[in-house]
């Protein structure tokens, strides 16, 4: 079978899987660009595609970079070609080993953007100031205190059950990948949760959610983001000051106070130390900024 027929067969499969017209167009454009790099697409056969070599694959990706495509765009193009080859392999037996083994260029992860210690503390005192219900303000304060005081993810805080209250000195958290970790609980976090539980007008059952909405159902994560957005606007903080930024602040402030990376990795539940090491770069950047602002020769 010739390449154009293979492409059309694959495109129909994309349609059957519910791919949007924009996705179909982008993926198909990527694959045709790839085929033109191999030769005349109208003349290429399934055997030609199966005979693809690693140097050809690397050369194609290098050409994309030379043409000015960013790493993300090259990665998307590779995903398109992988999808095409996977379908061709499954339906027409075309070898796809070289394509399956190909790895796109790695895009560096952006550095976390934590709040300053002063701003993080202020956030916790301003939570819920515009709320119509006092207990809602206490609830939001408790949630955000857990993010900053314990380094929890938003979803982890909202997954707590009524049976978790009152909080003890440690909290068993099930994070990403269903991995469990023990997190120390600061007195301020225990107190914030206790005050919320005492004020909550809805009954909290052992198996039900600890944090509930105004109607008594599980608290929606968007409500937490909305509370943080209100605080952000009141304090004049950047858009990066999200609930997750409080978790970043937890890690960065621990590191600044002398915490070691392995301990912080455990507290955050990172599977890889490389994820935690990003906070080292944040700390170094903050030190350099302070140096440039305060050192006599920098003034």
> Which residues are annotated as catalytic?
153, 176, 244, 247, 270, 279
Q: HEC string of the chain?
A: CEHHHHHHHHHHHHHHCCCCHHHHHHHHHHHHHHHHHHCCCCCCEHHHHHCCCHHHHHHHHHHHHHCCCCHHHHHHHHHHHHHHHHHHHHHHCCCCHHHHHCCCCCCCCCCCCCCCHHHHHHHHHHCCCCCCCHHHHHHHHHHHHHHHHHCCCHHHHHCCEHHHCCCCCEEEEECHHHCEEEEECCHHHHHHHHHHHHHCCCCCCCCCECCECCCCCECCHHHHHHHHHHHHHHHCCCCCCCHHHHHHHHHHHHHHCCCCHHHHHHHHCCCCHHHHHHHHHHHHHHHHHHHHHHCHHHC
**How many angstroms separate the CA atoms of 276 and 189, rounded?**
23
- Which residues contact residue 68 at a Cβ distance below 8 angstroms, ignoring those fewer than 6 apart? none
Token pair listed for 195: 């005050």
Q: Locate 108 and state its tokens.
A: 């560096």
């Amino acid at each position: 079978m010739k390449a154009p027929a293979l492409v059309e067969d694959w495109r129909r499969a994309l349609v059957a899987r519910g791919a949007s017209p924009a996705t179909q167009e982008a993926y198909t454009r990527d694959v045709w660009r790839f085929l033109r790099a191999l030769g005349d697409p109208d003349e290429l056969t399934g055997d030609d595609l199966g005979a693809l070599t690693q140097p050809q694959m690397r050369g194609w990706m290098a050409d994309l970079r030379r043409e000015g495509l960013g790493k993300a765009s090259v990665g998307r193009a590779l995903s398109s070609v992988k999808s095409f080859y996977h379908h061709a392999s499954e339906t027409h037996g075309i070898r796809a080993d070289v394509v399956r083994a190909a790895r796109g260029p790695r895009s560096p992860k952006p550095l976390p953007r934590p709040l300053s210690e002063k701003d993080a503390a202020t956030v916790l005192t301003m939570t819920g100031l515009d709320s119509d219900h006092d207990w809602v303000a206490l609830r939001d304060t408790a949630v955000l205190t857990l993010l900053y005081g314990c380094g929890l993810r938003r979803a982890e805080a909202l997954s707590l059950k009524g049976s978790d209250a009152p909080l003890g000195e440690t909290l068993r958290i099930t994070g990403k990948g269903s991995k469990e970790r023990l997190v120390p609980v600061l007195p301020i976090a225990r107190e914030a949760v206790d005050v919320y539980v005492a004020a909550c007008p809805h009954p909290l059952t052992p198996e039900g959610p600890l944090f509930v909405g105004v109607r008594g159902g599980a608290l929606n994560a968007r409500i937490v983001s909305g509370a943080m957005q209100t605080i952000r606007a009141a304090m004049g903080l950047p858009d990066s000051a999200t609930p997750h930024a409080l978790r970043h602040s937890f890690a960065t402030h621990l590191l600044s106070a002398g915490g070691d990376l392995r301990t912080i990795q455990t507290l955050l539940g990172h599977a890889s130390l490389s994820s935690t090491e990003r906070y080292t770069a944040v700390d170094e950047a903050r030190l350099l900024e302070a140096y440039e602002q305060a050192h006599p020769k920098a003034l």
